[in-house]
Amino acid sequence: MTRHDWTLDAIRAIHDMPLLDLVYRAATVHREHFGDNKVQLCSLLSIKTGGCPEDCKYCPQAARHRTEVKYQGLMDVGEVLSAAREAREAGATRFCMGAAWREVKDGPQFDRVLDMVRGVKALGMEACCTLGMLSDTQARQLADAGLTAYNHNLDTSPEHYAEIISTRGYGDRLKTLQSVRDAGIQVCCGGILGMGESIDDRCSMLQVLASMTPHPESVPINALVAVDGTPLEGQERVSTTEMVRVIATARILMPTSMVRLSAGRLQMSEEAQLLCVMAGANSIFFGEKLLTTGNPEYAEDMRLFESVGIRPLEPDVHAPSA
Ligand code: SAM
Ligand code: DTB
Ligand code: SF4
CA distance to 37, 237, 303, per residue, from 40 (Å): 10, 25, 16
Can you give the pLDDT at residue 315?
A: 61
In the chain, what are the domain boundaries?
8-304
Can you give the pLDDT at residue 313?
A: 86
Can you give the pLDDT at residue 91?
A: 87
Among 42, 94, 173, 188, which one carries the catalytic annotation? 188
Query: Which ligand is in closest contact with the Cα of 165?
Result: 3
Instruction: Locate the ligand 2 atom nearest the alpha carbon of residue 260 and give its number.
Output: 2
Can you give the pLDDT at residue 321?
A: 41
Active site residue 96: yes
The CATH class given to the 8-304 domain equals: alpha beta
Can you give the pLDDT at residue 317?
A: 44
Can you give the pLDDT at residue 322?
A: 36
pLDDT in tens, 152-197: 999 999 999 999 999 999 999 999 999 999 999 999 999 999 999 9
Active site residue 129: no
Q: What is the DSSP string of 156-219?
A: S-TTTHHHH--SS-HHHHHHHHHHHHHTTPEEE--EEE-SS--HHHHHHHHHHHHHSSSPPSEE
Q: At CB < 8 A and 24+ separation, what contacts does 172-181 make?
A: 172/133, 175/133, 176/132, 176/133, 176/134, 176/139, 176/152, 177/152, 177/212, 179/134, 179/135, 179/136, 179/138, 179/139, 180/134, 180/139, 180/150, 180/152, 181/212
Q: Which residue has the CA at smallest separation from atom 2 of ligand 3? A: 100
Ligand 1: does its nearest atom lie under 6 Å from the Cβ of 170? no
Which parts of the chain register pLDDT below 70? 315-322
d(CA 150, CA 129) in angstroms, rounded, equals: 5
Active site residue 128: yes
Ligand 1: does its nearest atom lie under 6 Å from the Cβ of 190? no
Active site residue 56: yes
Closest to 156 (Cα-Cα) out of 168, 146, 170, 166: 170
Q: Which residue has the CA at smallest separation from atom 3 of ligand 3? A: 59
Give the global pTM: 0.96
Q: Which residue has the CA at smallest separation from atom 7 of ligand 2? A: 98
Active site residue 188: yes
Instruction: Locate the ligand 3 atom nearest the alpha carbon of residue 62 and give its number.
Output: 6
Task: Give the orientation angle of helix 19-33 with respect to helix 240-253, to 10 degrees.
Answer: 40
